[in-house]
Structure 1
């Protein structure tokens, strides 16, 4: 960048922050180094009370804060001091003509919009927490980083002071902080625009923006040759991003992805009945309900104990000691639950690498939200799959009506199928998955794979036949031909749940009637790619 100094030793700083963490110490350090400190309302009171000499911005601009603080820094004496090109003669003359003094450091962090939304503030309060002057100053300072330093969070105070002590803030640091500043205002604007989208019904419109704050640097991504970082958005949904990690190694990219999948699945069952989901590579390998968490875990593990090795275990209730003892018998990567007893925490603690996360609650499967996926040169954005099917939504299409147990198992199976990669086939018996077929290119192969898993699970447990015998089967989308359903019937399914809507529905229904099984249509598809 032509004309920029390598180091800038600051003479004048403007501090205007909402998050006042470390502000007193930073301001005192600046004044000790001979820097004049300008500030605004709340920051001025804090610093003045601490005995730090400061000048209020209103005394510089000659204009008071007005409109309940909405207008205080939007003034040429502020923005001129931020934007002036110091080696440009016309800019220097304009400063002299209008009594504008340069600002060498800008410290601004923004009104807590994200936190305001997260705590459920009403519309008017949320609007008042949209910062205007802050982003304007940040963007101005970041643009003119050739001559000044912009700081948007307290974590950077120490580095700035260290460089001042070495003769001035370097251009490399000013450039890095400018990039960070634009990312911060970009994330802030994204939070606001997406909040508005939610207010307007969830659709994002002609433009869309996404942003987040760095939560974790990772050793690598899905594979060792890929770099990765984890960013948190403003969404306060209980889950892996908001959880407290009580113990264990740092979560990896794959851990976070799989743990999210596990907890979103187990949340489908609420908290009234104990439920456990075991996930491997973002697909469930066992899901069950039980009278206790221990019973639910044992039933879930029975479905596919081979795949459960090195998996993620999600629970919908407080992790207790008995369940913890059972889970740690095999190698497990992560346990996530709303809470955990002290005894359970101690049991898990004996496995130093096993991560234990507590969330304080369950995410609402019906809540709106957005999901995104990148493609070359674009973003695919859709609403979260928050569709929930109840018994009242089901239409019996066969001659035989399902039994009460079949109905309960079908609803469970369809909830699980919603979280299985398409094409998804799920067998369920007595409140537990009996076999899961995921991610195949045709539904018949998924039915076959699920049946193989069910037979292997029975053999491994020393049980006769297959777990799928007497089960129900769920399909995430309609059966395009009868062959997929016929595979499920051959595996032992006595009832089926599927969306319906195929051109060959009559053929599929006829196959069900011929076999004497019950079948219901949901009218809702759950593709998951």
Structure 2
């Protein structure tokens, strides 16, 4: 019988060169391939996106490119690509491409969230849950239970020294990788109880805010061997003052939003917009009290992704309630009720509480990475009790979204970002 589990443990050889030199317009980048010695075996990435794909990680070690007013990031500022053996307190096994791209995406989001203890949980290059907290433990708890189901096997990135209390909570759950600027005494030993967990120290996490205005040269490869080059994504939104009040003109009539966001709503809108910088588009995010309620990702239509985010909010809220109350997933509760092992009343209570809280959406704000081409996406979200919206603006039918917000009882606030946040 073929060992299908074994394919995930194998090390795939790669034929990529030790160095790469890329010249653009007479300017040059020089990259060095990264490898690590694990259990006596020197190797780079375990494999690519899938176990049968070759892959290699390269660090920028020399050169710089300046194109017009765009200064791309220079050598000596490595984060993920600069990791050496000493930065891994535990390898578990050689990291794969997805492990490190998840970590990189988490850092891309976290660079905007350095003011307070924050935790980002990433899986398949999309955040599962993101939260601020008064402590790192609180931030992790809020981020994890924003989507406990998706967080299984995810990558946890924190912006403060990992303390014992937070480590003990994290160690209760299965995660693939943890990254922190450093670890308090005894914390690594707690985490090492999970032998396959990758425990990573990235000291530059403490200075992630320095990367907010830095961009890198982003390569997109085509199946015909062609390349698309672009400046990496970034946002000009740095404070509530950078949002625009929702206003537009249609057929000679001016439409203005009735209500501007409150201070609390502005905080949540900013928080959500920063998370949007690392979410696959089309996407919308529901945020409440500077923590994600639900993240809708990668859908082709705007109203569809709002509906998916709402479905996820209800599903995850019910699961979190069930896990906290009965210490089992919601799906297991349903199964045990069907088998006669638990009373139906337990499910009915969870369902009632979830519906009563609108899956946690009531009182939340909604952030969208693209404009709303029709008012349907706005209407669907308003029905669930959102209080404010941030979106790029620029649709021919922006007036419809403004009317929808003004017609709501009470009126819903809306601001424009004046920029899109697509990621593909």
1:368 counterpart = 2:215: yes
1:294 counterpart = 2:137: yes
Q: 1:356 aligns with which of 178, 199, 210?
A: 199
TM-score (norm 2): 0.75
Unaligned runs of at least 5 residues, structure 2: 1-14, 36-43, 62-74, 247-256, 322-352
Q: Which structure has greater strand proportion?
A: 2
The 5 Å alignment of 1:18-97 reads: none
CA distance in 2, matches of 1:448, 1:407: 23
The 5 Å alignment of 1:325-344 reads: 325-344=168-187
The SS at the match of 1:264 is helix
Residues 17-52 of structure 1, C-alpha deviation per residue, up to 9 Å, x if partnerless?
A: xxxxxxxxxxxxxxxxxxxxxxxxxxxxxxxxxxxx
CA distance in 2, matches of 1:388, 1:269: 15
1:345 counterpart = 2:188: yes
Instruction: Report deviation, 1:210.
Output: 5.1
Q: Which structure has greater helix proportion?
A: 1
Instruction: Report deviation, 1:290.
Output: 0.6
The SS at the match of 2:88 is strand
Match of 2:346 in 1: none
Q: Which has the higher contact order (CA 8 A, sep 6+)?
A: 2
Instruction: Report deviation, 1:396.
Output: 2.0
Match of 1:526 in 2: 421
Contact 2:59-2:78 at 8 Å conserved across structures: no
Instruction: Report deviation, 1:238.
Output: 4.6
CA distance in 1, matches of 2:265, 2:167: 31
Instruction: Report deviation, 1:208.
Output: 7.3
Bigger CA drift: 276-285 or 356-365?
Answer: 356-365
The SS at the match of 1:410 is helix
Match of 2:88 in 1: 245
Q: 1:418 aligns with which of 277, 294, 297?
A: 277
Instruction: Report deviation, 1:521.
Output: 0.5
Q: CA RMSD in A?
A: 1.9
Contact 1:248-1:354 at 8 Å conserved across structures: yes
CA distance in 2, matches of 1:406, 1:296: 19
Bigger CA drift: 456-465 or 280-289?
Answer: 456-465
Match of 1:254 in 2: 98
CA distance in 1, matches of 2:168, 2:265: 32
CA distance in 1, matches of 2:385, 2:218: 36
TM-score (norm 1): 0.60
State how many pairs are aligned: 333
1:457 counterpart = 2:319: no
Q: 2:76 aligns with which of 223, 236, 240?
A: 236
The SS at the match of 1:336 is strand
Contact 1:242-1:359 at 8 Å conserved across structures: no
The SS at the match of 1:478 is coil
Residues 458-500 of structure 1, C-alpha deviation per residue, up to 9 Å, x if partnerless?
A: 2123354311111000001111111111222123211000111
Match of 2:343 in 1: none
